[in-house]
Amino acid sequence: MKKLIIGNFKMNTKPSEMKAYAMSLATKTTESKNEIIVCPPYTSIAIAKQFLDGSNVTLGAQNVCDVEAGKCTGEISASMLKDAGVEYVIVGHSERRSKFKETDRLVNKKIKTALASGLKVIVCLGEDLVERQNKHANAVVKKQLDEALKGIYENELESVVIAYEPIWAIGTGKNATVKDVQSMTNFIRREISDLYSEKAGQGINVVYGGSVTISNYKKLISIPSVSGALIGGACLDVDNFAMMCRENF
């Protein structure tokens, strides 16, 4: 089954390192049946584009400004990303929510701005450890999801990927169990069915992220309610990432 394999480089891979990575990933994934998306830092997007053109790999970005125009020193607009050859953008990553104080409302604005420019969005949601221990994970994810999708129409959902990323699993080496991922991704689908329709809940792409590695990716990505994975640390090793991209799930 075709899955989405998404690499989130975070603040890694300089322009001088991008060419070798892109060339290597392009050649190692020619036979892949999956949809592969790499999200390098802004400064490496142009080089990635140059060396991924004509390959099976699509380009994503890690962030976008919530407005399309204005005096916004240091920001990058959705149409700039589109013009640079980017097709996807990650929105609402937990690192941006915590370190850069991004709220659900801002995440919703970013999603609308990105969709209006023709970008697809990868919307990150997930609870922290205390919330999980207190059995509030579903409520937290439901709130984030409801707020993120406010004002988004059902026909726009084909451009929306939901990434369930429990915060306690990101970069910690502690991935969620198959049971937890199964239960939360099904919960997200049910919630989308309630918000829109049964068809929307079944059809939306819901990926898992959080310490996905070469040793656990098969069992996590093979879960039927999981559409793929958002992979941070483990995407930086091009051989391992390419191997995950080539898998037949």
Q: Which residues does the annotation mark as catalytic?
A: 93, 165
Under a CB-based contact definition with an 8 Å cutoff, are residues 246 and 28 in contact?
yes
Structure tokens at 146: 């409801």
Q: How far is CA 245 from CA 14, 136, 178, in A?
A: 22, 33, 20
Q: How far is CA 102 from CA 93, 97, 124, in A?
A: 9, 4, 12
By C-beta, is 161 or 231 nearer to ligand PGA? 231
CB of 215 to ligand PGA, least distance (A): 13
Structure tokens at 16: 């001088």
Judged by CB under 6 A, the stretch of 48-56, 104-112, 132-140, 226-234 that binds ligand PGA is 226-234
CB of 69 to ligand PGA, least distance (A): 29
Judged by CB under 6 A, the stretch of 69-77, 80-88, 104-112, 165-173 that binds ligand PGA is 165-173
Judged by CB under 6 A, the stretch of 79-87, 154-162, 218-226, 228-236 that binds ligand PGA is 228-236
CA 151/CA 97 separation, integer angstroms:
21
CA 31/CA 211 separation, integer angstroms:
25
By C-beta, is 14 or 174 nearer to ligand PGA? 174
Q: Which helix (H) or strand (E) holds 78?
A: helix 78-83
Under a CB-based contact definition with an 8 Å cutoff, are residues 139 and 184 in contact?
no
By C-beta, is 200 or 229 nearer to ligand PGA? 229
- For position 236 contacting ligand PGA by CB under 6 A, the verdict is no
**Interface with ligand PGA in residues 3-42 (CB under 6 A):** 8
CB of 228 to ligand PGA, least distance (A): 12
CB of 197 to ligand PGA, least distance (A): 29
Q: Computed from CA positions of residues 102, 12, 68, 127, in that sequence, does the dihedral angle turn out positive or negative?
A: negative
Binding site for ligand PGA (CB under 6 A): 8, 165, 170-171, 209-212, 230-234
